[in-house]
A and B are shown apart, each in its own frame.
Chain A
Amino acid sequence: MPKVTFIEKSGTSHTVNATSGSSLMQAALDNSVPGIDADCSGSCACGTCHVMVDAGWAQAVGNPGDMEEAMLSMRPDRSAHSRLACQIVVDEALDGLVVRLPEHQM
């Protein structure tokens, strides 16, 4: 089972088991990680599962798709390695993934 780590703005860290083949958003929800709102339940339609991928993992995770980019561009706190967690599929290649959470989702 791949392990992923979410780091809150405060510095509090949550390392959880993700289900291989499901989304990073789902890993957060399944493990009650605070700070991923997921209003649209993973449809790339709301922007409230915004995460900042740790620089060392950015290449492995890859770039946002077009619809994802449109949603990310609306976020005032968008950063170089921002992604929507619902669009990242976690598998063994992402075992050890680290992402940071924004202060708020909106």
Chain B
Amino acid sequence: MSQTPRVHSGPMQDPHSVPIDQLDVSDPRLFENDAWRPFFARLRREDPVHYLADSPFGPFWSVTRFDDIVHVDTHHQVYSSEPFIVIGELVDELKIDSFIFMDPPKHDVQRQAVQPVVAPTNLANLEPVIRERAARILDALPVGETFNWVDKVSIELTTQMLATLFDFPFDERRKLTYWSDLAVGTPEMAGATGFSQEERLAGLNDCAATFARLWQERLGRQGGFDLLSLLQSSEKTRDIIERPLEFLGNMMLLIVGGNDTTRNSLTGGVLALNQNPAEYDKLRANPGLIPSMVSEIIRWQTPLAHMRRRAKEDTELGGKQIRAGDKVVMWYVSGNRDDSVIDRADDFIIDRPKARHHLSFGFGIHRCMGNRLAEMQLRIVWEEIMKRFRFVEVVAEPVRIRSNFVKGYESLQVRLHPI
């Protein structure tokens, strides 16, 4: 039933010599091999609003400078989030519906209903739970022997957090991770490997059935702060179960949004500190820098490399003429290294001023709703790490994910050194 998708194969391009009109930043191997920097540096310098006429994802524009990206992100009347926000396509029959790929007015109604789950008062309620879980996970780690931080810490912690947000059966929580990885892990979407369309369909059906069951179980319970309870208590969404594709879409959005992004930032922070030992020394000398460091980690990692839009009308950007219907890709990973806006942008500086001035959460009406929750999780985990370990030592090169969307890690082998 599904066609074989075109994939990037054969030799990788040389970023310095490839003719600029053929330069292709959508190759997921650029991120797997950590080879993306010179490609985007060249585009920022020579062709910041860049058109590629053909790729496995069709023709698309790349927006590579910080200010141009903010312009696209904040002009949602021109740059639509419909039908999808990843460079590739959602090709399966299960056309799930989520406000991340909607425009106003429908977007606004749904986001406003869901947003209270991450309102600051709810976050304050969650903080002790997160801290207790972080402590328990960190205390159970093997000291002095090598292990995979991704699995034992990053995945475990974010999965537990998601289970809390959904009040999901705790011993089935790894299903949340699995469904999230399925949602963004196909070749058609982002050049990722690992899941076929068939497996994706089966998994999403299971996800839909599970949440429908949980919805029924929650009915009649009062005063819960988990997502399902909040949806049930809001007038505009209490009947969302009657729109199953929208219900599934919003569940998926929150699972995905809260999953690999936070996971890959938890891993990325360890790597960044190891690659920049003077910054690690700064942190040890002053754990008060943790909040600022968290923002810098999120910038440095840029857990989602891009977000895609579609031009609704002919428009001009950076001197180029964009046509109605064109795909326009905001490369957050590039904008976050734009040193015309961010001083010494390629450096990891944990006490950088204006640390939150980065693109990783996006900007405009779609700006990541979970941003303060993500920051809080990272802050708490680092507070607890610094109470226990002098050094989380990386002992091997990381294995990175093959995807042009999810920018993260399969494994990071570490060894712990206690205080």
Contacts and interface: CB of A to CB of B under 8 A. Distances in A.
Nearest to A43: B70
Contacts of A104: 119-121, 372
Interface string B69-111: 0100110100000000000000000000000000010001001
Given A67-B74, A70-B365, A76 B116 contact: yes
Contact of B70 (A38, A45, A70): A45
A103 B372 CA distance: 14
Interface residues of A, number: 19
A57 B248 CA distance: 45
B73 A106 contact: no
Contacts, number: 52
A52 B112 CA distance: 19
Contact of A45 (B116, B118, B121, B363): B363
Interface string B336-374: 000000000000000000101100010111010001100
Interface residues on chain B, size class:
20 to 34
Given A37-B356, A74-B112, A76-B116, A43 B367 contact: no
Contacts of A94: none
Interface of B: 70, 73-74, 76, 104, 108, 111-112, 115-116, 118-121, 354, 356-357, 361, 363-365, 367, 371-372
A47 B367 contact: yes
The dominant DSSP class at the A interface is loop
Given A74-B111, A76-B116, A40 B365 contact: no
Q: Which 8 A-B residue pairs are closest in the complex by CB-CB distance?
A: A104-B120, A45-B363, A39-B356, A41-B357, A45-B74, A70-B365, A106-B372, A40-B363
Contacts of A67: 74
Contacts of A41: 354, 357
Interface in A73-101: 73-74, 76
A61 interface: no
B118 A106 contact: yes
Given A40-B357, A104-B120, A46 B115 contact: no
Nearest to A40: B363
Contacts of A46: 363, 367
A82 B76 CA distance: 22
A31 to B, nearest CB: 16
Given A43-B70, A45-B73, A104-B120, A74 B356 contact: no
A104 B73 CA distance: 24
A71 interface: yes
Given A40-B70, A41-B357, A76-B119, A71 B372 contact: no
7 contacts: A40-B70, A43-B74, A45-B367, A46-B367, A74-B108, A74-B112, A103-B121
* Centre residue among B121, B361, B363 by max chain A CB count within 10 A: B363
B362 to A, nearest CB: 9
A51 interface: no
A42 to B, nearest CB: 10
Interface in A5-57: 37-41, 43-47
Given A39-B357, A41-B354, A103 B363 contact: no
Given A41-B357, A45-B74, A45-B364, 18 more contacts: A39-B357, A45-B363, A45-B367, A47-B367, A70-B104, A71-B365, A73-B108, A73-B112, A74-B108, A74-B112, A74-B115, A74-B365, A76-B115, A76-B116, A76-B119, A104-B120, A106-B119, A106-B372
B258 to A, nearest CB: 15
A43 B356 CA distance: 13
Contacts of B363: 40, 43, 45-46
B78 to A, nearest CB: 12
Contacts of A45: 70, 73-74, 363-364, 367
